[in-house]
Amino acid sequence: MNRHLVLVVATAAALAFGLVAAPRRYVVDGVSMGPGLLPGDVVSSGWLPEFDRRQPPLRFDRWIVTLPDGSTGLKRMVGLPGETIGLVDGDLVIAGRSELKGPRLLAEIGSDLGPSSASGTGWAAVPTLVLDDAPFAPGEVSRLLLPVHDVGFAAEVSVAAVAVGAGPVRLRAIAGPLAVGWRFHAAGRYAVVAGRLDGHAVAAAWPIVVRDTGATLDRHCLPAAAPDSWDVARPWPVASDAAGDARSPSLALDVANGGGPPAAIERVTIWRDVLLRTAADGVARWSVAADEVFLLGDFPSGSRDSRHFGSLPLTALRQRLRP
């Protein structure tokens, strides 16, 4: 085989591999995955996308799928093969248990309700009624708004340089019945998040190394680099909610340096979770066959998904989107 032919064969092989291995890119053209993804955003699979469908699907992953009408859609995996799922009070329920989202997932699908004023070392919010409105979808202004129970706060706290022998900075967050504290020994910026979520009182704190950049990241309702898991997650006591009370939980954050470096609350925003709506005919429970999956959009009232056309076969899954 001459050198020229070897080069042609190698080039052809490289092109063929590139067609199979290269990430797939898609442009979002609807609001069904808002507020995290809106029209014009570009999403991408990982490398070797054709192998995605050979891997077991994971809950809450986003997938490019073939819809029943043959069109291409972008949805989130919520029901796995063989499961019984339900939508109860806006939450996803699997086999009778509310499925708790982690901070990273909440950052993607929750909504930022805007800033809240805070003093340097203290902040508190009086419970109010929060509705599932959607400023990112002006066409939805005429729909009936529903109360959202899952509400919390996200704060950014700055800690000055730590002097030798100084004590740690202490933070205490309150979300309804939950009170949890952290001690920060190093200077820097920290995110502190707490609230009510999926039938739980949750809280987490983490260092903010870099700020979010880009239009898509700026829509996240939590500070950058949210972790996968909560520091604290406890079942929300039903007795703590007054009957028929749809207000958000009481929220508070206090900073005490305890003789250590100065620290201050620099920014507080309020977030709410997505409120999963039932099907238009009121159906709120589905059984998923062993060779099917159940998918939803992140913006329920603006999404056509498995609530309308039922579970999809595993063969409808095309590419898993990278986080």
CA 176 – CA 307 distance, rounded (Å)? 32
Q: Which residues contact 77 (CB under 8 A, 6 or more apart)?
A: 57, 58, 59, 60, 61, 62, 63, 293, 294, 295
SS3 29: coil
pTM: 0.88
The pLDDT tens digits along the chain (323 residues) read 565 554 444 444 444 444 457 999 999 999 999 999 999 999 999 888 888 888 899 999 999 999 999 999 999 999 999 999 999 999 999 998 999 999 999 999 999 999 998 878 899 998 899 999 998 888 776 788 999 999 999 999 998 876 666 678 889 999 999 999 999 888 899 999 999 999 999 999 999 987 555 555 578 999 999 999 999 999 998 765 544 567 889 999 998 866 556 888 989 999 999 999 999 899 999 999 999 999 999 999 999 999 999 999 999 999 999 87
| Predicted local distance difference test score (pLDDT) of residue 54 | 83
| Predicted local distance difference test score (pLDDT) of residue 61 | 96
| Predicted local distance difference test score (pLDDT) of residue 139 | 76
Query: Alpha-carbon torsion 163, 164, 165, 170, what sign?
Result: positive
CA-atom Rg of the chain in angstroms = 23
Q: Which residues contact 266 (CB under 8 A, 6 or more apart)?
A: 156, 157, 158, 189
| Predicted local distance difference test score (pLDDT) of residue 248 | 86
Burial class of 68 by CB neighbour count within 10 A (0 to 12, 13 to 18, 19+): middle
CA 198, distance to chain mean position in Å, is 12
Whether the Cβ atoms of residue 105 and residue 213 lie closer than 8 Å to each other: no
Give the residue among 277, 313, 274 at the shortest CA–CA distance from 293: 313
| Predicted local distance difference test score (pLDDT) of residue 28 | 96
| Predicted local distance difference test score (pLDDT) of residue 7 | 47
| Predicted local distance difference test score (pLDDT) of residue 213 | 52
In 3-state terms the chain splits into helix, strand, coil percentages (rounded to 5) of: 15, 35, 45
Give the burial string for 6-18 (b: 16+ CB within 10 Å, else e): eeeeeeeeeeeee
SS3 97: strand
